[in-house]
Each structure stands twice: as structure tokens, then as C-alpha cells.
Structure 1
Amino acid sequence: MRVVAKFGGTSLGTGDRIARAADSIATAVADGHEIAVVASAMGSTTDDLLEAITFDASEPDRAEIVSMGERTSVRMLKAALAARDVDATFLEPGDDEWPVVTDEYGEVDAEETRRRASELVSVCDETVPVITGFLAEGPDGTVSTLGRGGSDTTAVMLGNYMDADEVVIVTDVEGVMTGDPHVVEGARNVGEISVDELRNLSFRGAEVVAPSALSYKGENLAVRVVHYQHGDLLTGGTHIEGTFENLVDLRERPLACLTVAGRSIRNEPGVFQSLAGALGEADINIDVVASGLDSVTLYVDAEQAERAENILHRQVIEQPAVASVTVDKPLAVIRLTGGELPTQPGVIHEIVEPFAAARLQIHDLVTSATSVAIVVDWDDRERGLELVQDLF
């Protein structure tokens, strides 16, 4: 089996942890597996180096400075493997075999990186390549970086381009947890999680796998997250399932828009809970939610509009914080789901501009971590769908 194993900064934070990482790699090699390693900077080295740059440094100089963390890690890990009689070679930008390259715009040159990664495969049965994560090489030979979480990106990208069977992300948590174990009690490991679910968690602060990395996960590439104390690269942890694609979807049935107004209700604890809870108890599903300082807007199936209005009206009567409820229908919702949306500057403008040019009114635009819901008049649904499909 061909495996790309990425060791995060915590898992390489001390000499003992580097030794533990080397032991797990040596065991996998002894069992006949082809292993390529991606190493992050030890501990908080990258942050420490960035904090030390208190002067006006150019971007190329900054990249060279922060690259020293990863450059040190690969040397330490290569030496630890050699001490275990494992043939290993460290790779960093500038080496002839270095795989990750960018174009003149600083974006990963997928074609050239794939070509170099495929060449790297040919040496994996003889040696363990230990590759600096986070770093790339520009067309002029200068060092650049892949951004925060770039070591994850390096690992999953190389796993994809090297036709690996699995990418193993070795970190300081037991895979993906039900909650932050440093904050909540009883947090437990989630055995499986979809790419969609994990990307949403990642974009909202869950530091497990960098969102940029998951865009490189293909259907046939397994990705797993394990704790550095586990000691076995090939078992345990959380399996990340599926792949992420850009999808454009039009809801088949019309929606009704119920707006509950009240002065500063966004600052009133429990208001939304009572509104949503009352609809939930009546088995009325809320499809889209939007809120402002003085209103909460709930979109439900148009067939449920009258019943939902009566339910919410009872909440208006009972709660002094809310004043009135109104209904608007029929409306349509067009959803664009795509893992790269949050990383594309100006993407909301790109979505809205064609609607303005076509004189189509957008009633609401609701964004989440990896999706955008566009609410339009029911009669404008087909034209709106075409506009979004033309963009994506």
C-alpha cells in the first residue's frame, strides 16, 4: 500500500515525538508499505519565526525565513529514520526532485506538480522521501508558501498526484471529535465524517484538516486523521469519506418567507429558539434562515405557510420581544455549494452581478461555510438557475 503520512507540528514538537513518528514510519516500511512523509515545522516554530519578523521584509524573504521550520523538521526526521536503518531522503524547494511548484501567479501548477509527484513514486520502493510541507517553489526558483494549513494541502495534493491509497494526517487529537476536547467534557472520536461536513467545520474554526487540502481529495483517495500517540499509521482515527464538488441546485417546490419583526430581537436570548422550536414541534421544516437586528426570516415549504404563520403568530402574542409576523410567497431558492467558495475573493459579487444585469430581484442571499442560498421570485427560478450555472 502506498501511503502519504503528514506529521503536524505538535506530533514533531519534541525529540521524543520525532522518535515516535520515526518508529511508526519504520514499522509501516518493515511491513512492506511505500511511505512518503510530509513534515510540518516543529511545534510553534513557524509562529515564532513570523513573530520575530518585526521589520519590513519582502514576501520572498519572509517565505525563506519561515521555511526554516519545515527545513529543520525534515532533517530531524530523516536522521531519526536513518538511526532505525530506514533509508530516507529529505526534499525541500531547490532540490532536483522537489515536487510542489507554482506558476507566475503564485497558484499551484497542477500539471507540473502532478508530473513531478509521479516521478517521486518511482523512488518510494527504495527510500522514504521526507518532504517539507507548506512550501512551494516558484517558476524562478524562489520559495513560496501554501498558506495556513499548507502542510495538509501538501499531503493530500501529493497523495492525489502520487496515486496513493491513503493519506494519514497525524495530529494532536484522536481524529475528528464530537467537540473540542480541551473545552467540552466527554468528547469522543467520530469514526467517519464526510468531506462536506469536515469542510464546514474547518471553515468555522475546527483545526483538524485545512479546508484547502480537502479540495484535492479524490473519490479513490482515502484520508484519515489519527493521534500522534496512536503509534500505528495504518489503523484508527477518523476516516474522511467522499469528495467535494461544486453543485448548483434548484429546490423543486416553492417556499414561503415568514418574517418575524421586533425591536433588537437579535439581542434577545431564546427568541430564535422559541420560533424554530414551535415550527419543529409541528413538523414544519425550516429550509433557509436569515436574520437582522430587528427581524428573523424563516423560509418553509409554501404548502405549510398558513399553518406556520398561525404558529408563529402565537409566539408573537406570547413574547413581548416580537411584534408582528408577515408572509411572502411563492419564492424559489437556488443553492450553490462549493468547497472553494470561501477562498475566492469577490465570489459574492460575481454571483450577484449577473442578477442585477438581468434585472432579477434577489430577495435574500444567505451564506454558510461552503454554500450560498439565493432566494428569488418563483417565476424567476429558471432564469436564476441559468445565471448561476453559467458562472459555475
Structure 2
Amino acid sequence: MRLVAKFGGTSLGTGQRVERAADSIADVVADGHEIAVVASAMGSTTDELLEDITFDADNADRAEIVSMGERTSVRMLKAALAARDVDATFVEPGSDLWPVITDSHGEVDPSVTQERAEALAEALDGTVPVVTGFLAETPDGDVTTLGRGGSDTTAVMLGNYMDADEVVIVTDVEGVMTGDPGVVEGARNVARITVDELRNLSFRGAEVIAPSALSYKHEDLNVRVLHYQHGDLTAGGTKVEGTFENIVDMEEDPLACITVAGRAIRNRPGILSDLSEALFEHEINIDAVASGMDSVTFYVGSDVAEVAETTLHDEVVEDESLSSVTNESEFAVIRIMGGELPNRPGVISGIVAPLADAGVTIHDIVTSATSVAVFVAWSEREEVLSIVQEQVSISHENVSR
């Protein structure tokens, strides 16, 4: 079996924990498995280094400074493995075996990184590469970082590109829990969870695996979350199942845009609830809501637009903070949902720019942690759908390669 194991900062927080990590790695080697290790900075080293940068440092210097946490971790682990007669080598930016390369835009270059990761995989025969997580290297050889959760991203990315059987995320939680054990009495470990469930939990505050990492998971790559005290890297914890799927969906029926305007409407407590409740009482389904300082917009089916307008007009008449209501028709909505959307720089421009190039006027964009909804004229829906599908397909291919 080929394994990639990522050890988080807590799991390497002390010399004793580094030794525990080395023991678990040595056991995998002794059992005849291949393993590559990804190491985060020990404890809270990265945060401490960032706090100590009290001067005006450019991005290049800042990246070099914070990289010292991971650089120290891989040296500690390599030395601990050597003490256990395990042949290991640390791999950091600048090394001949360094795999993670960004493009000129600062994003991971999938083709170059895959090529380098495959070369790293060939070195697994008889040795354990201990790779710095979180870090990347520019085409010019400068150090850069992968952002929040970057070590998770390094691990799952390498697991994908190195054709590993499994990626194990070693952290300070016993897999995924039914609730925060510090708050909820009786919280227990979840044996299995899907990538979509875990992504949604992550965006609502659960720090388990970075969503940016899960976008690299494919169906044949197992991913598990394991507590650092568990010891056995090949069993236990929570298994993460499935893959992110890029979904582009277009509403079949046209929508109307009903906008309620008012003075400082956002500062009026309960206004959104009142307006939504009024529509609910008339059994009007709300497809989407967009708000500003002086307006709230409801997207509803065109077939109920007049009833919705009349209903909201009644609310305007009764509330002095509201001034008017308007009704525009007809609009189409194209929704994009997928694992690569959240926390990915440039995702909105990657959708909007091609539409602008095609001369499409975007009426509205409503985003959430896991989706983007684009509202356009009903007459342009088929053209927009085709363009968006093409862009999402290209994006998925770039991440998956």
C-alpha cells in the first residue's frame, strides 16, 4: 500500500509527539508499505512567526520567514526516523525533489506539480520523503504559500498525483465528531462522512480538513482523519468518502426580480423576516435573496410575480422605513456548485469574464460558501449555460490533472 500521512501542528507540538509520529511512520515501513509524510509547523510556530513580523515585510520575505516552521518540522521528523533506522530525507522548496510548483498567477500548476510528484513517488522505494506542508515554489524558485489549510492541500494533492492508496490526516481530533466534545456531552466519532458534508461543516466552523484539499480527492483515493494518539496509521478514525462534483444547473422556469427599497433597510431589525413571512403566507417560494443597504431583492417564479409584488407592496404601505417595490421579468438563473468553488481565488472572475467577453449582461450574482448563482436575461440563458459549463469543465480538469 502507498500512503501519504500529514501530521498537523498539534501532532508535532512537542518532542514527545514528534517521537510518537516517528514511531507510527516506522511501523508502516516495517509492515512493508510505502509512505510519504507531509509535516506542518510544530505547534503554533507559524502564528508566532507571523506575530513577530511587526515590520513592513514584502510577501517574499514573509513567506521565507513563515516557512521556517515547516522546515524545522521536517528536519525533526527526519532525525527521529533516522534514530529508528528508517531511511528518510526531508524535502523543502529548493530541493531537487520538491514537487509543489505554482504558475505565474500564484496558483498550483497541476501539470508541473504532477510531473514532480510522480518523480517523488519513484523515490519511495526504500526511503521516506518528509515534505514541508503549506509551502510552494514559484517558477522563479521563490517560496510562496498555499494559504489556510495548506498542509492538508499538500497532502491530498500529493496523494492524488503520487497515485497513493490513502491519505491520512493526523490531527488533534479523533476523526470527525457528532459535535464539539468541549460543548456537547456524549459527542462521538463518525466512522464515515462524505466530502460534501465535510466541506459544509468546514465552512461553518469545523476545522477538520481544508475544503481546498478535498478538491484533489478522487474516487479511488481514500482519505481518513485520525487522532495523533491513535498510533496505527492504517486503521481507525473517520473515512471521507466520495468526490466533489461540479454541478451546473439552470432553473427550468423564468424568474421575476421583486425589489423592495427603503431607507437604511439593513439597519431595520427583522425586515427580512417580515418580508419573507408575507410571501410565505401567500405560498410564494423564494428562489434567492440579495440585499443591499437600501434594498432587498427577492427572486420568485414569474408566474407568481404579480401576487408577490402586491404582497410586498402591502408591506411597504404599512412600514414607514420602506418606500417602494418594483417588479422586473424575466430572468434565468444558472447555479454553479462544486468542490473547487470555495476558498479559490479568482473563481468569480473565472465565470464573469467569459460572459463579459460574450457581451452578456449579468443582472445579479448571489454567492454562498458552496455555490454561485448567476442571474441573466431569460433570452440569454442557453448561451450563458454553455459558457459556464465550458468554464467549469476547464476548471475541474486543471485541478484534477
- 1:93 paired with 2:99, answer no
Query: Secondary structure of the residue that 1:384 maps to in structure 2?
Result: helix
- 1:388 paired with 2:388, answer yes
Give how far 1:42 is off. 0.2
Q: Distance in 2 between matches of 1:321 and 1:179?
A: 41
Residue number in structure 2 paired with 1:239: 239
Q: Please say which of residues 41-50 and 366-375 is displaced more in the overlay.
A: 366-375
Residue number in structure 1 paired with 2:119: 119
Q: Please say which of residues 350-359 and 5-14 is displaced more in the overlay.
A: 350-359
List per-residue Cα deviations over 1:281-302 (Å, max 9, x = no partner). 8775432221223443332344
The change in CA–CA distance for 1:178 and 1:327 in structure 2 (over 3 A counts) is farther
Residue number in structure 2 paired with 1:161: 161
TM-score by length of 1: 0.81
- 1:255 paired with 2:273, answer no
Contact map agreement 1:38 1:155 (CA 8 A) in 2:
yes
Contact map agreement 1:340 1:370 (CA 8 A) in 2:
no
Contact map agreement 1:215 1:339 (CA 8 A) in 2:
yes
AA aligned opposite 1:290: A
- 1:170 paired with 2:170, answer yes
Q: Distance in 2 between matches of 1:61 and 1:365?
A: 37
Residue number in structure 1 paired with 2:13: 13
Give how far 1:88 is off. 3.0
Q: Distance in 1 between matches of 2:123 and 2:150?
A: 24
Question: Which stretches in structure 2 are left out of the alignment for 5+ residues?
Answer: 393-401
The Cα RMSD (Å) is 3.7
List per-residue Cα deviations over 1:23-78 (Å, max 9, x = no partner). 33334334443221100010111122233233454544433332221122122223
Q: Distance in 2 between matches of 1:198 and 1:376?
A: 32
Q: Distance in 2 between matches of 1:349 and 1:316?
A: 36
Q: Please say which of residues 350-359 and 203-212 is displaced more in the overlay.
A: 350-359
The change in CA–CA distance for 1:376 and 1:74 in structure 2 (over 3 A counts) is same
Q: Distance in 2 between matches of 1:60 and 1:320?
A: 54
Contact map agreement 1:4 1:37 (CA 8 A) in 2:
yes
- 1:136 paired with 2:172, answer no
Q: Distance in 2 between matches of 1:283 and 1:194?
A: 34
Residue number in structure 2 paired with 1:230: 230
AA aligned opposite 1:229: Q
Q: Distance in 2 between matches of 1:389 and 1:220?
A: 25
Give how far 1:163 is off. 0.6
Q: Distance in 2 between matches of 1:374 and 1:220?
A: 33
Query: Secondary structure of the residue that 2:41 maps to in structure 1?
Result: coil
Query: Secondary structure of the residue that 1:297 maps to in structure 2?
Result: strand
The change in CA–CA distance for 1:143 and 1:384 in structure 2 (over 3 A counts) is closer
* Identical amino acids, percent of aligned pairs: 72
AA aligned opposite 2:51: E
- 1:290 paired with 2:296, answer no
Give how far 1:165 is off. 1.3
Q: Please say which of residues 179-188 and 83-92 is displaced more in the overlay.
A: 179-188
Query: Secondary structure of the residue that 1:331 maps to in structure 2?
Result: strand
List per-residue Cα deviations over 1:343-372 (Å, max 9, x = no partner). 565654564466566665433221122432
Q: Please say which of residues 244-253 and 160-169 is displaced more in the overlay.
A: 244-253
The correspondence of residues 1-392 of structure 1 with structure 2, limited to 5 A, is: 1-57=1-57, 59-103=59-103, 106-177=106-177, 189-202=189-202, 206-273=206-273, 275-276=275-276, 285-303=285-303, 305=305, 327-341=327-341, 348=348, 351-352=351-352, 360-389=360-389, 391-392=391-392
The change in CA–CA distance for 1:375 and 1:126 in structure 2 (over 3 A counts) is same
The change in CA–CA distance for 1:188 and 1:292 in structure 2 (over 3 A counts) is farther
Question: Which stretches in structure 1 are left out of the alignment for 5+ residues?
Answer: none
The change in CA–CA distance for 1:163 and 1:278 in structure 2 (over 3 A counts) is farther
TM-score by length of 2: 0.80
Q: Please say which of residues 9-18 and 153-162 is displaced more in the overlay.
A: 9-18
Q: Distance in 2 between matches of 1:3 and 1:233?
A: 9
